[in-house]
C-alpha cells in the first residue's frame, strides 16, 4: 500500500485541527516510506522555519520506522550524522513525527513543527489517527 494524496491531506487537516485545540500554529509534512514529501501544510501565522523542521522530522521517522524523538539520543553518533549528511542534511532527529503503518508495513510518516516537541508529536499522532486501519507508533 502507498499513501494517497487524499490520505495525506486528511492527515494534515487532522493535525491542524489538533493544533487549533492546543492554540498553536504548525507546519505539517507527510512523506512516503522513502522520505519523499507527499503533502505539506502551514497554518496561517505559522513560522516559516517550522516547515523545514516538520519535513526533517518526517524523513527521520520514515527512515527509521519509529517516532523521530526516539532518535534524538543517538543523533550525534557517527552513523546517524553520516546518514543525515548522505540525505543532504534533511533529517532532523527531534521529537515531533510518527511513522505511518498499514497492515504492519511502513507507508510514510507525518512530521510537525511549530510547537514543543510534545505538542508536535501530539498533532502528528492525531493526524495519523484519522486514517482508519493505519497504526500509529508513538514515542
pLDDT of residue 61: 97
pTM reported for the whole predicted model? 0.92
Range list of β-strands (E), 21-93: 27-32, 37-42
For residue 107, the number of C-alpha atoms closer than 13 Å in the C-beta half-sphere is: 19
The helices-and-strands tally (H runs, E runs) of the chain is 4, 5
Residue 93: left (phi > 0), alpha (psi -120 to 50), or beta?
A: beta
* pLDDT score recorded for residue 42: 98
Q: What pLDDT was estimated at residue 133?
A: 54
Q: What is the pLDDT of residue 103?
A: 86
pLDDT per residue rounded down to tens, the chain (139 residues): 789 999 999 999 999 999 999 999 999 999 999 999 999 999 999 999 999 999 999 999 999 999 999 998 898 899 999 998 898 888 999 999 999 998 889 999 999 999 999 999 999 999 999 996 555 555 4
Domains defined along the chain, listed by start: 5-136 (3.30.450.150)
- How far apart CA 118 and CA 18 sit, in angstroms, is 12
**Cell numbers found for residue 99:** 511513522
Amino acid at each position: 500500500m502507498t499513501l494517497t494524496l487524499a490520505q495525506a491531506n486528511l492527515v494534515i487537516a487532522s493535525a491542524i485541527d489538533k493544533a487549533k485545540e492546543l492554540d498553536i500554529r504548525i507546519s505539517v509534512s507527510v512523506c512516503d516510506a522513502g522520505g519523499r514529501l507527499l503533502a505539506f501544510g502551514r497554518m496561517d501565522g505559522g513560522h516559516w522555519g517550522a516547515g523545514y523542521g516538520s519535513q526533517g522530522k518526517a524523513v527521520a521517522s520514515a527512515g527509521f520506522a519509529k517516532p523521530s524523538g526516539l532518535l534524538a539520543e543517538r543523533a550525534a553518533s557517527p552513523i546517524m550524522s553520516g546518514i543525515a549528511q548522505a540525505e543532504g542534511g534533511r533529517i532532523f532527529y527531534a521529537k515531533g513525527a510518527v511513522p505511518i503503518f498499514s497492515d504492519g508495513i511502513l507507508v510514510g510518516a507525518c512530521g510537525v513543527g511549530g510547537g514543543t516537541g510534545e505538542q508536535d508529536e501530539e498533532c502528528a499522532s492525531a493526524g495519523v489517527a484519522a486514517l482508519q486501519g493505519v497504526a500509529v507508533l508513538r514515542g
